[in-house]
Structure 1
C-alpha cells in the first residue's frame, strides 16, 4: 500500500463569477459530446476546475447536525455531555440524508441549505444517501423507501446537487448496502438500485462512492466483485470503507488498496475515521465501549485513498445495544466517551 501523507494538497475552488458560471453552462452543453467522442468525464471536468476529494479537503460542519441541535439545547446534559455536543457540532462531518428526516417533499430544501453552508464555510458538501428499500435488511437501521419512492427521492437529491454547481459535492451512497447483500440474499435487487441511484445523483464536481464494507467484514475479493457488478464509471469515483465502524486507518488503507487493485482501472476510496481513534473492539460493532474519535478528515491520502473523512457522526447510536438508543439517535453518554481525550 502507498504510505499515507499528511501534506495537504491545494484544492482549487470555483468562484461566483460570470466566467465560471459560463464554464459550467458550457460543460452541461458538452456532456453529450463527451459521451459521443468517448472522453472520460472526470478528466474533462477536472479541466474546468472540478477536483476530487484529497488531503486537505474540508467538508461542512452542518448546523442541522444532531450534535449541533444537542449543543443548542443542553438542558438535562451533564457538563461532559454538553461539552461533547459543543465540540462535535464544530467538526466537519457528513450529513446523512434519510427519508425519515428528509422526505421527498423536503429533501431539495435540505440540500439547498447544506450547499449554502458549504459556501459560507468555504467547504465541500458531503452527504450520505441512506434510504434504500429494505435498508439494513430489517436490522437496527431498518426502514427506507419503496422502489418508486426511492427513484423519486434520489432524483430530487441529484437535481438539488446539480443546482449547486459552484460547490464540491461528495456522496457516500448507501452504506452497508453491498456488504450486507450476500447475507440478505438481495444482490440482484441491490445492483440495479445502486446503479440507477448513481446515475440520478451524478453531476459536475459530484464524487460518488459506493459501499465498500471494511477490512474485518467481507474478503477483498468478494467486496470487489460486488462493487464490480454495480460498476465504477464516470458517475462513480470508487467506494467508501469503515463507514460507521472502528477499524484502524492503516488496516483500511491496506484493504482499500487490495479492493481497488482487484477492480483495476482508476478506482479510488474514502476511509471513515470518525470513531476509530482507539481501533476496533474485537468483532463488536454496535456501540462498543472505550472507543475514541479518530483523525480529522482530510488528514491522510495516497494514490488510491483520496482522503479520510468523518462519515458516521460521532455521538449517534449504532442501535439499541450496549446501552445505546435507537440507531441514529443522539446519545449524550456515548458522545462524551468518544470525545473524552479531545475536549
Structure 2
C-alpha cells in the first residue's frame, strides 16, 4: 500500500533469467574493473562511475542493458542513450526464493571480480505485502530461515550490501499484517539480521518505511524488536518517490531514536518527488510523470546517510496498475519516461 515492492515479485521465468545472467557473467561476460570507471560490456557499452564515488556493481546483463543493446541494434540511438542512464547505474538484485544460494553467489562473485560491492535485496518474508501486487513470500518461518541461510552461504566472505525486507516492519505498524503473524515476523527479522551481520564483509540495512507513511515515533520500537541494534542501519524510501530532502529529514529523526544508526536512501525514482493525484492508495503504483533521482553514490549530503542507492530497478513495474505489467516485469515505456524525466 505504501510503495509495495514490484521488483521483488519475481516470476519463475524472471528468477531463471537472473540466475542465468549471473552464470553468464561468471563464465566471462562480466565487466572487468579496477576502479577507474571503465567497466564495460561489449555491444551495449555499459560503463559506470569511478569506484571512489560509487563502489557498487553494475550488472552488465540487466534489463536496461539488454534494452540498450536492442535499441542500438534497431538503430534507435536516441532511445538507447536515454535507457543507458539506467543501465549504467548499479541497482538492487532482488534475490528470489528459487536457488537463493546460487543467485547470491553469482552476483557477489561477479561483483568481486569487478572489484565492486553487490547490492542485494531480500524480500521473502512470509505474508509479505499483505496480499497486494507483490504478495507471497516464504511458505512459513522454517522456509524463511532456510532462505536466509542459503543467501548467507552464497555471499560468504565477499562484499555485499543487503537491504532487508522492504515494508516488513512497516506493515506490522500500519495494521496491514494480521496480529497473529507479528511475533513470528519479529523473530524472523531479528534472526536474519543476526545471520547476515555476522558475515565478514556484509552490511545490513533493515527497511524502515518512507517519509510519507507516518512518523518515526510509530516505528522506532518495532525496529528495535526486529533487530536494528545488530544491523548496520536502516533503509528508507525503497521503491517509493519521496524526495531525498524529505527522506534525509525522516531518516535523521528516526536515527536519533535508534541509537544514531546510519541509513541509506532509495533515490531511483524520486527525481520529481511523489505523485499527488488520483487514489491515495494507488499513488505509489507506476505513477506518471516521475523521474530518475540522484545516481548511486556514497558521497551524500549528510554524514548519517551512508549511500544513495537505486534499490528499485527503474523500469520494472510496481504491479498491474496504470497499464503496467505484473509486478517486477520490465516495462520499456515506463523506463523511457523515467529516463526522460
Following the alignment from structure 1 to structure 2, what is the Cα–Cα distance between the partners of residues 233 and 296? 29
Report the alpha carbon displacement of residue 197 of structure 1 after superposing the two structures with TM: 1.5
**What's 1:295 paired with?**
294
Q: Which runs of 5+ in 2 are unaligned?
A: 1-50
Contact 1:317 / 1:328 at 8 angstroms: preserved in 2? yes
**What's 1:98 paired with?**
96
Alignment of 1:21-36 (within 5 A): none
* Secondary structure class of the residue paired with 1:127: strand
Alignment of 1:153-192 (within 5 A): 153-164=147-158, 167=159, 169-181=160-172, 182-185=175-178, 186-192=181-187
Contact 2:189 / 2:227 at 8 angstroms: preserved in 1? no
Contact 2:56 / 2:116 at 8 angstroms: preserved in 1? yes
How far does the alpha carbon of each residue in 1:58-100 deviate from its partner, in whole angstroms, 9 at most, with x for none? 211113433234445558997666544444222111111122x
**What's 2:210 paired with?**
214
**What's 1:109 paired with?**
102
Which of 239, 246, 268 in structure 1 is aligned with 2:262? 268
**What's 2:15 paired with?**
none
Say if 1:122 and 1:163 are closer, same or farther in 2 by CA, change over 3 A: closer
Contact 2:264 / 2:309 at 8 angstroms: preserved in 1? yes
Following the alignment from structure 2 to structure 1, what is the Cα–Cα distance between the partners of residues 74 and 129? 32
Say if 1:55 and 1:261 are closer, same or farther in 2 by CA, change over 3 A: farther
* Secondary structure class of the residue paired with 1:180: helix
**What's 1:62 paired with?**
59
How far does the alpha carbon of each residue in 1:293-324 deviate from its partner, in whole angstroms, 9 at most, with x for none? 00111141423221211110100011111111
Following the alignment from structure 1 to structure 2, what is the Cα–Cα distance between the partners of residues 266 and 248? 22
TM-score by length of 2: 0.75
Following the alignment from structure 1 to structure 2, what is the Cα–Cα distance between the partners of residues 91 and 117? 16
**What's 1:28 paired with?**
none
Say if 1:89 and 1:230 are closer, same or farther in 2 by CA, change over 3 A: same
How far does the alpha carbon of each residue in 1:144-185 deviate from its partner, in whole angstroms, 9 at most, with x for none? 121222211110111121242xx3x11000101111123222
* Secondary structure class of the residue paired with 1:183: coil
Aligned length: 278
Following the alignment from structure 1 to structure 2, what is the Cα–Cα distance between the partners of residues 295 and 161? 28
Q: Which runs of 5+ in 1 are unaligned?
A: 1-53
Following the alignment from structure 1 to structure 2, what is the Cα–Cα distance between the partners of residues 55 and 251? 26
Say if 1:127 and 1:332 are closer, same or farther in 2 by CA, change over 3 A: same
Report the alpha carbon displacement of residue 224 of structure 1 after superposing the two structures with TM: 1.1
Following the alignment from structure 1 to structure 2, what is the Cα–Cα distance between the partners of residues 145 and 80? 42
Alignment of 1:302-341 (within 5 A): 302-341=302-341
* Secondary structure class of the residue paired with 1:330: coil
Which of 132, 135, 140 in structure 2 is aligned with 1:139? 132
**What's 2:7 paired with?**
none
**What's 1:286 paired with?**
285
Contact 2:291 / 2:339 at 8 angstroms: preserved in 1? yes
Contact 2:204 / 2:232 at 8 angstroms: preserved in 1? yes
